[in-house]
């Protein structure tokens, strides 16, 4: 399997975050940051071997602190984590 470079991996992570995680926050006026902004930190977590719990906690902190949308905490992140783990295998 071909290894993804950092930029390609972060772009793929950004797409996962936008397509599978940001749906509930779409159209929110609470943050002007594009969701892909958070891909770099998620990439770093993955390459350092973070557990699913650690990645989920990080995403929940983003929802609360950066997106100002703590109500997203009810959203199941399992599909997001599966997609991120798939990317991780290519890094």
Query: pLDDT by residue (tens digit) across 21-74?
Result: 865 444 445 455 678 889 999 999 999 999 999 999 999 998 888 888 877 777
Rounded CA separation 35/38 (Å): 6
pTM of the predicted protein model: 0.83
DSSP 49: T
Instruction: Give residue 26's pLDDT.
Output: 47
Q: Which residue has the higher pLDDT, 86 or 70?
A: 86
Q: Which has the minimum average pLDDT: 18-22, 31-35, 83-87?
A: 31-35
Among all chains, which residue has been given the structure tokens 């929802």?
63
Instruction: List CB contacts of 42: < 8 A, sequence separation 6 or more.
Output: 13, 17, 55, 58, 59, 84
Number of Cβ within 10 Å of residue 72's Cβ equals 19
């Amino acid at each position: 399997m071909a290894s993804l470079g950092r930029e390609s991996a972060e772009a793929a992570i950004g797409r996962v975050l936008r397509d599978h995680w940001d749906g509930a926050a779409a159209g929110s006026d609470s943050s002007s940051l594009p969701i892909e902004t958070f891909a770099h930190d998620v990439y770093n977590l993955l390459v350092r071997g973070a557990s699913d719990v650690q990645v989920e906690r990080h995403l929940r902190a983003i929802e609360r602190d950066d997106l100002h949308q703590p109500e997203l905490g009810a959203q199941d992140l399992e599909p997001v984590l599966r997609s991120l783990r798939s990317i991780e295998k290519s890094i």
